[in-house]
Amino acid sequence: MKFLFVDTAGWMACADAADPAHQRARAARDKWLEREGHLLTTDYVIDETLTLLRFRLGLDAAENWWHAIAASHRVRKEAIHNERAERARGIFFRYRDKQFSFTDCTSFAVMREMHLRQALTTDSHFGQAGFQTIPR
């Protein structure tokens, strides 16, 4: 099974029509799914996305998004357990010249563990960490 990691910025670009990357992000996501791919995200990313959706688009938008991904058999949700959090902590403190959030570092840890190279995101930190970002 092929997975595309989806970061908070990717979910937001797809959900928010006012986002400058909205059309490109939706097209990239849809193309991936049309090729029988699956999406992968984490509980930390879901937390961030729900919060941003609520504040930017309202509680109804957040609830609709929650139900859509919860019901989807094409979205895999990975939990950040203690071992992953420890790997993320190592990344967080190793790259002192970067402004990575801890949530970004948990995403990087999961992507490395699962050998994922691509992320649906507009967050430049993923590129700085060596991953390919979609859309470009």
What is the model's pLDDT at position 42? 99
CA dihedral (24, 135, 4, 77) in degrees, to 10, reads -70
Rounded to a whole number of angstroms, the CA Rg of the chain reads: 14
Mean pLDDT of the chain: 97
- The band of 136, judged by pLDDT with boundaries at 50, 70 and 90, is confident
This prediction's pTM:
0.95
What is the C-alpha to C-alpha distance for residues 117 and 32, in angstroms, rounded to an integer? Answer: 14
Region 53-77 average pLDDT: 97
Closest CA to 73 of 38, 106, 32: 38
What is the C-alpha to C-alpha distance for residues 8 and 44, in angstroms, rounded to an integer? Answer: 9
Closest CA to 6 of 62, 36, 15, 23: 15
What is the model's pLDDT at position 67? 97
- The band of 73, judged by pLDDT with boundaries at 50, 70 and 90, is very high
Please provide the CATH number assigned to the domain covering 3-134: 3.40.50.1010
Closest CA to 100 of 62, 44, 21, 51: 44
